[in-house]
Chain A
């Protein structure tokens, strides 16, 4: 699986890194952080966020519904994942993450050599306020800081607002054509 995807020739960046606090377009103060340890610092709050998530905004089966299934999903992908959480008044209202393509621990250590799948979710009441872009850019900035260079995602082909957002930060469509559009971005290195 590794090495088969097409990445843009030109790297994208630099992107801002967490932590940061900004005012969204509705005047709300939004704090973005990358927790050092997701399981202890953010997991419970993110589970609460997904419990509030409108199931009509699910994409390709995620997030799952019901607390047990949500927790199980986050714990399964959580161990090796890279997470950025947006909060308003302490509550998690947005979550973006990268999950490695590999489950080999040695490979995951060498972050620049493997590919990372991206997903991002923002609670309905906080959409269309610039938080998606904020989260996405901070996740990519954090990823670049820790040495990740290749990030990909799939998005439902008819989801034009999401595709436009991904294109704005530097994602390009790859060759794969089906119900999902696959997109990929190459991140600037540290140096």
Chain B
């Protein structure tokens, strides 16, 4: 399967990256990683980019493309997914509030309502 992974720079992104790398190793998916520009995130776009490159290198997946996307995160992700031959777009599956409520942000909502591919939310 040809998988596109979108990361924003939150802790949720770190978990999503880890799980997607494990899955890629298990089943031999083709993977492309894109980092969106989300200024309110804990990590900058460059930091998230470097984290993804390092983690992939650590497990010997050096050949995987990691790319930074400019502009509005949701539409940049969906555009990129539309232009490639991807079977699945993977993003983080929401955060938990202090109460334990699952919260999906506006980027997730935009992706779910606009992506032409199957979308996977990682929890």
Interface of A toward B, CB cutoff 8 Å: 59-62, 64, 73, 76-77, 97, 99-101, 117, 119, 154, 176-180
User: Which of A60, A64, A100, A179 has a CB less than 8 Å from the CB of B98?
Assistant: A100
In the complex, 8 of the A-B residue pairs with CB atoms within 8 angstroms, ordered by the A residue number, are A59-B101, A61-B96, A62-B101, A64-B100, A77-B98, A101-B98, A119-B99, A179-B104
Interface size on B, residues (CB 8 A): 13
Asked if B97 is at the interface of the complex by the 8 Å CB criterion, the answer is: yes
Residue on B nearest A64 in the bound complex, by CB: B100
Residues 101-115 of chain B, each 1 if its beta carbon lies under 8 Å from chain A, else 0: 111111011000000
Contact A177 B106 (CB under 8 A): yes
- Inter-chain CA distance A99–B98, complex, in Å, is 6
- Interfacial chain B residues near A178, Cβ < 8 Å: 103-106, 108-109
From residue A73, how far is it (CB to closest CB) to chain B in Å? 6
- Inter-chain CA distance A151–B97, complex, in Å, is 13
- Inter-chain CA distance A97–B104, complex, in Å, is 22
Contact A180 B104 (CB under 8 A): yes
- Interfacial chain B residues near A61, Cβ < 8 Å: 96, 100-102
Contact B100 A154 (CB under 8 A): no
Residues 59-96 of chain B, each 1 if its beta carbon lies under 8 Å from chain A, else 0: 00000000000000000000000000000000000001
Contact B102 A60 (CB under 8 A): yes
From residue A179, how far is it (CB to closest CB) to chain B in Å? 5
- Interfacial chain A residues near B105, Cβ < 8 Å: 178
- Interfacial chain A residues near B103, Cβ < 8 Å: 60, 154, 178, 180
- Inter-chain CA distance A99–B100, complex, in Å, is 10
Residue on A nearest B108 in the bound complex, by CB: A178
